[in-house]
Amino acid sequence: MISGLIVYNNHDAKCNRFFINKCLELLNDDLFSLKFLVEEKLLEYVATNKVGFVIYRGRNSLLLEELENKGIKAFNNALTNKTANDKCLTYEFLKENSLPYIETYLEAKSFPCIMKSVSGHGGQEVFFVNGLEEVNQIKSEHPNLKFIYQEFLENNGDVRIYVLNKKVLISIKRKNQKDYRNNYSLGGEVELYEPSKEMVDVAVKIATLLKADFIGVDFLLTKKGYKIIELEDPVGSRMVYKLKPQLDIIRLFIEHIKNNI
């Protein structure tokens, strides 16, 4: 029997019961045993219990590094989690690997621009700013956050490409008519999208370089072509089940896990 954990922080667990329950349903059988655990108790648990693998759905790469040092297999690995959840590291990774990125700065260079917390996700801690006065106001309201600044690009929405085991499963376009952020969680409309071969190749290249199991790659559709906005780990599944429930992307993820432990 191979024992594993699915881990979320306490806040995110409340919003992701479907994902948690689906994994528990599929990974408790004659060969595997899966238990849900909140992130805050993870290190204490693995110190006293034998754990073969962890499905980690948080954003603390240091935790993952500790698991890997103990020889515990993590889905995704620490490198993927660290790169995806720090926007500075994402930018550096894209630039170093000659991938299409949005020019990014640690200080605002021109206006208007997009101001982002390096650790934000789901469209949170992202601001459209028109000048230094707005920048300084946001900094004063969020003194503990580190920000980056990106040029604002006119766009026709963005596309998330889901990559599992270095294969593209589905692509979804998001467009918000009422907000500069296209996130589904913020009211963005979604539809299936047929990406170009180049976009597919870029998404697969990213997953390969990071040795990622299951990630999302977000592309901004600008007038001058596409740019990569963010890498998503953990990547959600709500849009997939809304548009193509027969794909059952969580089941495919679990099958991948079973084949790679």
Same domain, 59 and 123: no
Amino acid identity, position 102: I
| pLDDT for residue 183 is more than 60 | no
Same domain, 88 and 25: no
Region of 71 on the Ramachandran plot (φ > 0 left; ψ -120 to 50 alpha; else beta): left
| pLDDT for residue 188 is more than 90 | no
Range of 59-68, 149-158, 188-197 with top mean pLDDT:
59-68
Contact indicator for 207, 137 with CB cutoff of 8 Å = no
Same domain, 133 and 27: no
Examine residue 30 and state whether it is found in any structural domain, yes or no: yes
Same domain, 95 and 224: yes
Same domain, 70 and 96: no
Assigned token pair, 138: 């946001």
Region of 4 on the Ramachandran plot (φ > 0 left; ψ -120 to 50 alpha; else beta): beta
Same domain, 165 and 137: no
Q: Indicate the pairing of strand 214-222 with strand 155-164.
A: antiparallel
Averaged pLDDT score across all residues of the chain: 93
Examine residue 205 and state whether it is found in any structural domain, yes or no: yes
Q: Indicate the pairing of strand 2-8 with strand 53-56.
A: parallel
Number of domains in the chain: 3
Q: Write the DSSP string, 25-60.
A: HHS-SSSEEEEEEEGGGHHHHHHHS--SEEEE-SS-
The pLDDT, as a whole number, for residue 196 is 97
Residue among 116, 142, 120, 140 nearest 129 (CA): 116
Same domain, 112 and 195: no
Same domain, 58 and 186: no
Same domain, 182 and 212: yes
Examine residue 261 and state whether it is found in any structural domain, yes or no: no
Examine residue 260 and state whether it is found in any structural domain, yes or no: no
Digit-coded pLDDT (tens) for 2-21: 999 999 999 999 999 999 99
CA distance 224 to 230: 18
Strand order across the 104-105 sheet: 104-105, 147-151, 113-117, 126-129
Most distant CA pair in the chain, distance: 61
Q: What is the CATH number of the domain that holds 230?
A: 3.30.470.20
Same domain, 146 and 176: no
Domain that holds residue 23: 2-75
Kindly indicate the confidence band of residue 178, based on its pLDDT and cuts at 50, 70 and 90: low
The radius of gyration computed from the CA coordinates of the chain, to the nearest angstrom, equals: 19
What residue ranges in the chain does DSSP mark as E strands? Answer: 2-8, 32-38, 53-56, 73-75, 104-105, 113-117, 126-129, 147-151, 155-164, 167-175, 189-192, 214-222, 225-232
Dihedral of CA 122/244/82/94: which sign? negative
Digit-coded pLDDT (tens) for 74-90: 999 999 999 999 999 99
Same domain, 91 and 176: yes
Q: What is the CATH number of the domain that holds 21?
A: 3.40.50
Examine residue 193 and state whether it is found in any structural domain, yes or no: yes
CA 68 vs. chain centroid, Å, equals 20
Same domain, 191 and 225: yes
